Amino acid sequence: MTFLNVQDIHHTYFTKSNAVTALSNISLQVEEGEFISFLGPSGCGKTTLLSIIAGLFQPTEGRVELEGKQVATLKSEIGYMLQQDYLFPWKTIEENILLGLKINHHLDEEKKAYAKDLLLQMGLSDVESLYPKQLSGGMRQRVALVRTLATEPKLLMLDEPFSALDYQTKLHLENLVSDTLKSFGKTAILVTHDIGEAIAMSDRIYLFSPSPGKVHKVFEVPEELRECSPFDTRNHPLNAEIFQTIWKEMESLGSQESHKSTP
Ligand SMILES: Nc1ncnc2c1ncn2[C@@H]1O[C@H](COP(=O)(O)OP(=O)(O)OP(=O)(O)O)[C@@H](O)[C@H]1O
How many whole angstroms from 254 Cα to the centroid of ligand 1?
19
**ipTM of the complex, rounded to two decimals:** 0.97
Cα 68 to Cα 1, 155, 188: the distances in Å are 7, 14, 17
| Model confidence band, residue 76 (pLDDT cutoffs 50, 70, 90) | confident
| Model confidence band, residue 84 (pLDDT cutoffs 50, 70, 90) | confident
Digit-coded pLDDT (tens) for 147-170: 988 888 999 999 998 888 888 888
Partners of 218 in beta bridges: 206
Cβ < 6 Å from ligand 1: which residues? 13, 15, 20, 22, 40, 42-48, 213
Digit-coded pLDDT (tens) for 49-74: 999 998 888 999 999 999 998 877 66
Mean pLDDT of 74-87: 82
Check residue 74 and give its pLDDT.
65
How many whole angstroms from 49 Cα to the centroid of ligand 1?
10
How many whole angstroms from 20 Cα to the centroid of ligand 1?
9
Check residue 10 and give its pLDDT.
97
Q: Under a CB-based contact definition with an 8 Å cutoff, are residues 1 and 68 in contact?
A: yes
Question: 194, 259, 260: which is closest to 233 by C-alpha?
Answer: 194
Mean pLDDT of 97-120: 86
Look at residue 263 and tell me whether its pLDDT is greater than 60. Answer: no
Q: What is the model's pTM? A: 0.89
Range from 68-77, 138-147, 187-196 carrying the lowest mean pLDDT: 68-77
Look at residue 259 and tell me whether its pLDDT is greater than 70. Answer: no
How many whole angstroms from 117 Cα to the centroid of ligand 1?
38
Interatomic CA distance for residues 180 and 201, integer angstroms: 11
Q: Whose CA is nearest to atom 6 of ligand 1?
A: 13
Question: 178, 203, 207: which is closest to 195 by C-alpha?
Answer: 207
- Pocket test residue of 11, 12, 14, 20 for ligand 1, highest count of atoms within 8 A of CB: 20
Whether the link from the prior residue into 212 is cis, omega within 30° of 0, is: yes
Look at residue 98 and tell me whether its pLDDT is greater than 70. Answer: yes
Digit-coded pLDDT (tens) for 28-45: 999 999 999 999 988 899
Q: Which residues 6+ apart lie within 8 Å of 42 measured at CB?
A: 193
| Model confidence band, residue 85 (pLDDT cutoffs 50, 70, 90) | confident
Look at residue 105 and tell me whether its pLDDT is greater than 80. Answer: no
Check residue 108 and give its pLDDT.
84
